[in-house]
């Protein structure tokens, strides 16, 4: 994310295409002549890692089938990004039954 321009020369770049759709996306970004192809692709990868790879792949397929350029903004708008984590209330646990099973120091002496 810090240096997306280094993506083009990255030695293990082929490992950063989880599926064929992601590879087609990168190729499309490059063929569209986007100046920010590497940056957009790295941001799409980050979106997939932080949300859902399957949702991002579906969004990419929709964009590619529509003939649009799969920029980060276009894909992000199609992916459902959770805005807030739901609050989960956990009732306090009563561990007094377990405390009675542990012998006290007086019992051990």
* 46-75 per-position pLDDT tens digit: 888 888 888 999 999 999 999 888 888 888
Tell me if the pTM is above 0.75.
Answer: no
Judged on CB neighbours under 10 Å (0-12, 13-18, 19+), 48 is: buried
Report the alpha-carbon distance of residue 24 to residue 27 in Å, rounded.
5
Domain range list for the chain: 4-83
What's the pLDDT band for 5 if we cut at 50, 70, 90?
A: low
Looking at residue 82, its pLDDT comes to 64
Q: Cα–chain-centroid distance for residue 1?
A: 13
């Amino acid at each position: 994310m810090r240096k997306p321009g280094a993506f083009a020369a990255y030695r293990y770049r082929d490992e950063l295409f989880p599926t064929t759709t992601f590879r087609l996306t990168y190729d499309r970004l490059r063929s569209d002549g986007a100046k920010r192809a590497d940056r957009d692709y790295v941001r799409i990868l980050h979106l997939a890692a932080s949300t859902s790879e399957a949702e991002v792949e579906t969004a990419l397929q929709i964009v590619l089938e529509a003939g649009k350029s799969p920029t980060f903004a276009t894909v992000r708008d199609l992916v459902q990004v959770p805005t807030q984590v739901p609050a989960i209330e956990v009732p306090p646990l009563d561990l007094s039954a377990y405390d009675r099973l542990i012998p006290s120091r007086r019992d051990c002496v």
